[in-house]
């Protein structure tokens, strides 16, 4: 029996490292291009330079300030089979704090979700990867690989 999985929609989820105070996650829906995400005028939910026009830029779907971390690590939408509770959740993290958050990927598109902290990784988080079965992995600077099932249980 084949596993039933939601199709990959083709949206682009972007972990956008901030300049001084904010980190953000942006989403470009499939087929949508030609939008400004604010570089080099906007950081997170606010102007970074005087006189910028926030309405001229697509706002981030999620952001956090440097009280929670200092460098966002963009992640992936979970499409595996081992963690049914994470199906369709976008996981991302922060390299300084080791925090790993999750947010409903579909609800990110309409701005009706917030991220919840799922775990904290020991070490410096640097990347996420996915295997052929859709299982998600977090990687630290020392080369350790943590399977998402371990993250979800933390």
In terms of pLDDT, which residue wins out, 32 or 152?
Answer: 32
Q: Would you say residue 5 lies in a domain?
A: no
pTM: 0.87
Q: Would you say residue 3 lies in a domain?
A: no
Q: Would you say residue 2 lies in a domain?
A: no
SS3 127: strand
Q: How far apart are CA 150 and CA 112, in angstroms?
A: 27
pLDDT surpassing 60 at residue 150: no
CATH at residue 65: 2.120.10.30
Q: Would you say residue 6 lies in a domain?
A: no
- Residue pLDDT, tens place only, 11-32: 899 999 988 899 999 999 888 7
Q: How far apart are CA 112 and CA 39, in angstroms?
A: 24
- Residue pLDDT, tens place only, 109-147: 888 889 999 988 888 999 999 999 999 999 999 999 988
Number of domains in the chain: 1
Q: Would you say residue 19 lies in a domain?
A: yes
Q: Give the domain extent around 124.
A: 12-153
pLDDT surpassing 90 at residue 95: yes
C-beta of residue 69 within 8 angstroms of C-beta of residue 23: yes
Q: What tokens appear for 13 in the block?
A: 């989820």
Report angle CA 58, 94, 73 to the nearest 5 degrees. Answer: 60
């Amino acid at each position: 029996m084949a596993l039933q999985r939601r199709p990959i929609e083709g949206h682009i989820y972007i972990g956008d490292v901030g300049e001084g105070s904010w980190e953000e996650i942006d989403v470009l829906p499939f087929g949508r291009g030609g939008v400004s995400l604010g570089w080099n005028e906007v950081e997170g939910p606010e102007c970074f330079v005087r006189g910028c026009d926030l309405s001229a830029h697509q706002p981030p779907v999620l952001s956090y300030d440097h009280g929670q971390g200092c460098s966002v690590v963009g992640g992936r939408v979970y499409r595996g089979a081992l963690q049914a509770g994470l199906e369709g959740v976008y996981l991302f993290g922060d390299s300084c704090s080791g925090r790993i958050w999750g947010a409903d990927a579909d609800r990110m598109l309409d701005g009706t979700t917030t991220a919840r902290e799922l775990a904290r990784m020991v070490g410096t988080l640097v990347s996420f990867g996915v295997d052929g079965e859709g299982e998600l992995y977090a990687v630290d600077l020392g080369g350790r690989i943590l399977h998402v099932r371990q993250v979800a249980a933390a």
